[in-house]
Amino acid sequence: MAEKTSVSVAIVGSGGAGVLTTGAMLLEAACKAGWNGLMTRSVGPQIRGGEAAALVRLATQPVECLADNVDLLVGIDWVSAQRFEGEIALAPGSIVISDPSAGPPPPVLAPAGTRIIELPLAQLTKANPTWRANMIALGAAARLLGLDDEALRQIIKLHFEAKGAGVVNASVEATRAGGDSVAAVAGAFRLAPPQSANGKRWLITGNEATGLGAVRGGVRFAAAYPITPASEILEWLAPNLPKVGGTLVQAEDELASINMIIGASYGGVPSITATSGPGLSLMIEARGLATAAEIPIVVVDVMRGGPSTGIPTKSEQTDLNIAVYGLHGEAPHLVIAPQSVTDCLLSTQWATFLAEMLQAPAIVLSDQALGQTQVAVSRPADISFIGKRLCATEIAAPYKRYALGGSGVSPMAIPGTRGGQYTADGLTHTERGIPTSGAREHGAQLDKRCDKIERYDYGALWATLEGDGEIAVMTWGSLTGVAREAIARARADGIAVRLIAPRLLLPTRPVEMAAALHGVKRLLVVEQSHSAQFHRFLRAHYTLPQETSVLYRPGPLPIRPSEIYRQLTRGESL
């Protein structure tokens, strides 16, 4: 059988059955053996007993998104697995591993004619009470992929060493037994040898990368209110910030968390909070305060299905409107959207840098598909964005905190600085920060806050621009990698397609966008929303080619590379 360059595995089962652990261990073992890959989770809302799926893709090259289809579906059990209809679609030639005592897999996942390999999980665990069903399933999946037993053993040791040698040995035996049970199809999806990876290898999730990006950018204070799917950012920062001299505080609600970071940043310490849609909604008023009082803060929104509580555990790109427009009054601010799991690091670091440089709030618009996806990658390169706030040190009386002129960024006195005392204020104020309702001062300060953001040189990071030709795909956030994969297929067919993915959503960059779109005759906009928010945003701020079409749908069903590819290769009309 030909070796594959990319294999996709879905492991499903009830929550608490160890599905996510199994997926993570499979990814780790493959990563240890040198392959690239990622794992995305799809879970129901229940803490225990709901349905869970670990979607693992392993590849010889780095990958940024799930593939269209699943090659290997492993059912630890099939309870509620029909809820993954559409999310898990089998590829031609796929194999399903199923315990006969758990009944047949749901037809919506495995239609008639699907090749099913029986794995007697219940029977094996009954005969060997120390074996866990998920470890047996892990061994079976690993054997089909041709994964080295030694890599698997090392990962088992890493995970279970603290539980004692008995657990490690039982798990090793269970995986071996699982592998032996599927000997008939061993190597059915054998991966080609990994390309040699240079340097250190990392396993990291988007939420962890976001936390690391904040620390690299200089953040030393975080305020936290838990929310799915953003909590992992805060839980990564909680033990790690103190290691570098910083602090995390749990707040009583999101209103408190954003006000805490405004207070800490006013005190001179770069600060962050992370939330999801409901929290971002609560933070709107204080984001306006940070704009008016010119306090740098970073707010990460890991988007999930909305509105209201929506689908907390699954992804959508529908907080764009609220991030861009969701403020009363005129409140220029920054909105930055990471484009991959590792780009969460760069984008958050850049957002911190920009917030500090421009004394303005920055929103990082991540999503569940990035935040809770774990990737195996080479260590991301260091970038040199360490924000340096313009502070007032030598102060001549009277100090003008909000002085006009220059770039619009005025020196900020940090409490403790003699002669710099001022009152930061959300009221319209004079250059000295004194409240006023005068039209002239109002206009002058609005201009100041707008100009400092509009005139800044954001350089090449404002967007990802790849390829050339008269056809372009415009997308953002987690769909960037999906579009890139679709474009690569189209290019392989001889169709030249550009990728345009703005990382900087606000402020808009009309000049740069016009240059990026120069020569584009047909444009395909791709986004994960019900009302085409991104397309409406683009139309409001940019001139798009006359022939523009939109591929859009709400979450949680991710847009696949093949859907974009089909649009690109459909012929004359997109």
Partner 1 sequence: MSATAPLACKPGDYKSETKPIWCPGCGDYHVLMSLTRAMATLGLPPEQIAVISGIGCSSRIPAYTSCYGFHGVHGRSLPLAAGLKIVRPDLAVIVASGDGDGYSIGGNHFLHACRRNVDLTYLVMDNHIYGMTKGQPSPTTEPDFDTALTPGGSGVRPFNPLVIALASGANFVARAYSGNPLETANLIVEAVRHPGFSFIEILSPCVTYRPDQRAWKDLVHSAPVEATDDAARAARRLMTDDGFNLGVLFRGNRAPYRPATDAAPCDQIELEKGFEI
**Measured from the CB atom, is 54 or 204 closer to partner 1?**
204
Least gap, CB of 19 to partner 1 (angstroms): 22
Least gap, CB of 238 to partner 1 (angstroms): 8
Where in 380-439 is the site for partner 1 (CB under 8 A)? 413, 415-427, 433-435
For tokens 């009954």, what's the residue? 126
Query: 215, 240 in Cβ contact below 8 A?
Result: yes
329 is a site residue for partner 1 (CB under 8 A): no
Of the residues 204, 280, 331, 525, which one makes contact with partner 1 according to CB under 8 A:
204
**Measured from the CB atom, is 13 or 380 closer to partner 1?**
380
Query: 205, 341 in Cβ contact below 8 A?
Result: yes
244 is a site residue for partner 1 (CB under 8 A): yes
Where in 479-518 is the site for partner 1 (CB under 8 A)? none
> In terms of Cα–Cα distance, which of 340, 428, 349 is closest to 377?
340
- Cα separation, 264 vs 234, whole angstroms: 16
- Cα separation, 228 vs 155, whole angstroms: 28
Type of residue at 534? F
**Measured from the CB atom, is 103 or 415 closer to partner 1?**
415
Q: Give SS3 for 121.
A: helix
Which residues are within 8 A (CB) of 79 and not within 5 positions of it... i.e. 6 or more apart?
13, 14, 51
How far does CA 207 lie from the centroid of its chain?
7
Strands 497-502 and 463-466: antiparallel
Q: Give SS3 for 14.
A: strand
- Cα separation, 233 vs 214, whole angstroms: 10
How many residues touch partner 1 (CB under 8 A)? 66
Q: What's the burial of 7, exposed, middle or buried (CB within 10 Å: 0-12/13-18/19+)?
A: buried
Of the residues 289, 300, 303, 320, which one makes contact with partner 1 according to CB under 8 A:
289
152 is a site residue for partner 1 (CB under 8 A): no
Query: 351, 217 in Cβ contact below 8 A?
Result: yes
131 is a site residue for partner 1 (CB under 8 A): no
Region from 24-32, 310-318, 509-517, 542-550 binding partner 1, contact rule CB under 8 A: 24-32
Of the residues 202, 456, 458, 542, which one makes contact with partner 1 according to CB under 8 A:
202
192 is a site residue for partner 1 (CB under 8 A): no
257 is a site residue for partner 1 (CB under 8 A): yes
Both tokens of 57, joined, read: 């893709």
- Cα separation, 134 vs 425, whole angstroms: 57
Beta bridge partners of residue 249, listed in sequence order: 223
260 is a site residue for partner 1 (CB under 8 A): yes
530 is a site residue for partner 1 (CB under 8 A): no
Query: 5, 62 in Cβ contact below 8 A?
Result: no
Region from 124-132, 168-176, 195-203, 479-487 binding partner 1, contact rule CB under 8 A: 195-203
269 is a site residue for partner 1 (CB under 8 A): yes
**Measured from the CB atom, is 251 or 299 closer to partner 1?**
251
Of the residues 35, 221, 462, 552, which one makes contact with partner 1 according to CB under 8 A:
221
**Measured from the CB atom, is 380 or 507 closer to partner 1?**
380
Least gap, CB of 58 to partner 1 (angstroms): 14
263 is a site residue for partner 1 (CB under 8 A): yes
Least gap, CB of 351 to partner 1 (angstroms): 17
- Cα separation, 370 vs 545, whole angstroms: 30
355 is a site residue for partner 1 (CB under 8 A): no
Least gap, CB of 291 to partner 1 (angstroms): 12
C-alpha pair distances (Å), 129 with each of 19, 97, 136, 397, 524: 19, 21, 12, 79, 55
Q: Give SS3 for 234.
A: helix
203 is a site residue for partner 1 (CB under 8 A): yes
For tokens 């372009």, what's the residue? 472
Least gap, CB of 528 to partner 1 (angstroms): 27
Rounded to 5 degrees, φ, ψ at 419 are: 85, -5
242 is a site residue for partner 1 (CB under 8 A): yes
31 is a site residue for partner 1 (CB under 8 A): yes
Which residues contact partner 1 (rule: CB under 8 A)?
28, 31-32, 200-204, 208, 212, 215-216, 220-221, 223, 238, 240, 242-245, 247-249, 251-253, 255-257, 259-269, 271, 285-286, 288-289, 293, 376, 379, 413, 415-427, 433-435
